[in-house]
Amino acid sequence: MMEEEYVFKVVVIGDSGVGKTQLLGRFTRDEFHLDSKSTIGIEFQTRTVAIAPSRRRVKAQIWDTAGQERYRAVTSAYYRGALGAMLVYDVTRRATFQHVPRWVAELRAHADKSIVVVLVGNKADLAASVPGRREVGVEEARDFAEEQGLFFFEASALSGDNVEEAFMGLLGEIYGAVS
Ligand code: GDP
């Protein structure tokens, strides 16, 4: 069997309740749990993927904060060695978007300068299905991401929409930078 040639550490960050754990579960196990508080103690999950066009095998090691962000206690150990970050907000809760610059600052302070960052507006399913629920516009978020040099997707851990695209886009960019 072919060994993975690369292991990429990716951290998932953002306010509590935005769906970090569910995004990770969707990507690594294709699962979603409506009631999720099962992450305590689990530090990371992995999934091995093939990166186009060479189809090189990469093991993504994706870290979950396990609730540390609630106490503003995400430590620099969490960021150590991370090549990528998924910064998540909730499109139905404006405050979580307003806190994004704080998370960007945290990355700039603790992570490697060359870290690749994707901004993800999660719970797009809610914004689409419940009138009035959307509190953050797509254009606004895209403009912000562009300004900050971040990749951007709206996604839904619930429906699975764009989850694969966001993670694979991030892993592809990292691959392009390190290979
Ligand atoms: P975390 O604190 O950022 O890890 O957030 P969780 O992954 O624990 O999710 C918080 C809550 O939002 C849970 O009740 C999830 O079921 C819900 N949730 C997460 N992602 C989505 C999504 O894409 N759509 C909807 N409708 N709910 C979601």
Distance 77 CA to ligand 1 centre (A): 25
pLDDT digits (tens, 9 = 90+) for 138-161: 999 999 999 999 999 999 999 999
Give, for ligand 1, the residue of 18, 22, 70, 158 to mutate: max count of ligand atoms closer than 8 Å to Cβ. Answer: 22
pLDDT digits (tens, 9 = 90+) for 48-73: 999 988 888 999 999 988 777 777 66
Does 16 sit in the ligand 1 pocket, CB within 6 Å? yes
Give, for ligand 1, the residue of 36, 43, 162 to mutate: max count of ligand atoms closer than 8 Å to Cβ. Answer: 36
With helix as H, strand as E and coil as C, how does 24-85 read?
HHHHHHCCCCCCCCCCCCCCEEEEEEEECCCCEEEEEEEECCCCHHHHCCCCHHHHCCCCEE
pLDDT surpasses 70 at 41 = no
More confident residue, 71 or 76: 76
Give the separation between CA 140 and CA 66, rounded to whole angstroms.
Answer: 29
How many CB atoms are closer than 10 A to CB 109?
9
What phi and psi, each to the nearest 5 degrees, are found at residue 174? -60, -45
* Atom 11, ligand 1: residue with shortest CA distance: 17
Q: Which of 75-79, 84-88, 96-100, 143-147 has the lowest mean pLDDT?
A: 75-79
Mean pLDDT over the full length of the chain? 90
pLDDT at 5: 78
pLDDT digits (tens, 9 = 90+) for 27-38: 998 777 655 554
Does 38 sit in the ligand 1 pocket, CB within 6 Å? no
pLDDT at 75: 79
Q: What would the mean pLDDT of 113-128 be, rounded to a whole number?
A: 97
Does 157 sit in the ligand 1 pocket, CB within 6 Å? yes
Its pTM stands at 0.93
